[in-house]
């Protein structure tokens, strides 16, 4: 695997953003490299609005998954949230199981061990 470095941010934009946000110039540079180059974009980045999220039903078979979870709850079945051991895997397991456990108590989690 090769690392692809983003080009250095425009220093004027970086310094302006750092001043507007009251943050370190280095952090502002990281934001600019990710397309966050103005106060409004930073606000949206750090405090996103739920209306800006993608429709989860655009994900393949999301409707099938939702129906299966609804069926499991309706039939009082156990639900196992199976994840991966990487950062996004453990985070998604934590989010999904926390959500389900907020209204249904028959939820367990599994994250495989290398």
pLDDT digits (tens, 9 = 90+) for 28-78: 999 999 999 999 999 999 998 988 888 999 999 999 999 999 999 999 999
How would DSSP label each residue in 43-86? Answer: HHHHS--GGGSPPGGGSTTHHHHHHHHHHHHHTT--EEEE--SS
User: How far is it, in rounded angstroms, from Cα 24 to Cα 15?
Assistant: 9
Averaged confidence pLDDT in the chain:
95
Residue 114 confidence (pLDDT) above 80: no
pTM tops 0.85, yes or no: no
The distance of Cα 79 from the centroid of its chain, to the nearest Å, equals 22
């Amino acid at each position: 695997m090769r690392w692809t470095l983003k080009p250095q941010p425009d220093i004027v934009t970086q310094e302006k953003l750092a001043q507007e946000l009251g943050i370190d110039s280095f952090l502002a540079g990281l934001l600019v490299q990710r397309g966050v180059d103005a106060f409004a974009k930073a606000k949206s980045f750090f405090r996103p609005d739920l209306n800006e999220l993608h429709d989860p039903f655009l994900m393949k078979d999301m409707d099938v998954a939702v129906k299966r979870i609804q069926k499991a709850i309706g039939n009082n079945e156990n639900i196992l949230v199976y994840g991966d051991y990487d950062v996004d895997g453990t985070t998604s397991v934590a989010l999904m199981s926390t959500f389900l456990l907020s209204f249904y108590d028959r939820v367990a989690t599994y994250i495989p061990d290398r």
